[in-house]
Amino acid sequence: MRRPRILLFAILFAATCAVGAVVRRRGGPGAAADGWLVPLGVCGAVWAAAVVVDVVWHAWKGDGQACRSCGHVRPMKSFRPAGPCPRCGA
């Protein structure tokens, strides 16, 4: 389950960055057409919602969150990891 989740976050982040780069190239938010601002807002909102849902889901399940470095599952404490990873220390 760890790999598809990371891939989804990477794709959403890359799409947000790509649309943001196009908006910046066209003169920024003030000069860009609404045709580019709407996808930028949608991509950003979907990415933020995915991150929030992921954090809430893992906290609600009580299984913990996977370590970014080694993948070991750490327990959650009030929507954050309870401490450093016992396996790698990250």
pLDDT at position 41 over 80: yes
User: Of 17 and 86, which is predicted with more confidence?
Assistant: 17
User: Angle formed by the axes of helices 34-61 and 2-25, to 10°?
Assistant: 160
Residue 61 confidence (pLDDT): 74
Question: For 86, which DSSP code?
Answer: T
Q: Taking the alpha carbons of 50, 60, 7, 86 in that order, is the dihedral positive or negative? A: positive
Q: Tell me the average pLDDT across 61-84.
A: 72
* CA atoms of 57 and 3, how far apart (whole Å): 16
* CA atoms of 52 and 45, how far apart (whole Å): 11
Question: For 83, which DSSP code?
Answer: S
Residue 14 confidence (pLDDT): 92
> pLDDT tens digits for 9-26?
888 889 999 988 988 888
Residue 35 confidence (pLDDT): 80
Domain ranges in the chain? 2-62
pLDDT at position 79 over 70: no
Residue 81 confidence (pLDDT): 66
Angle at 5 between CA 40 and CA 68, to 5 degrees: 105
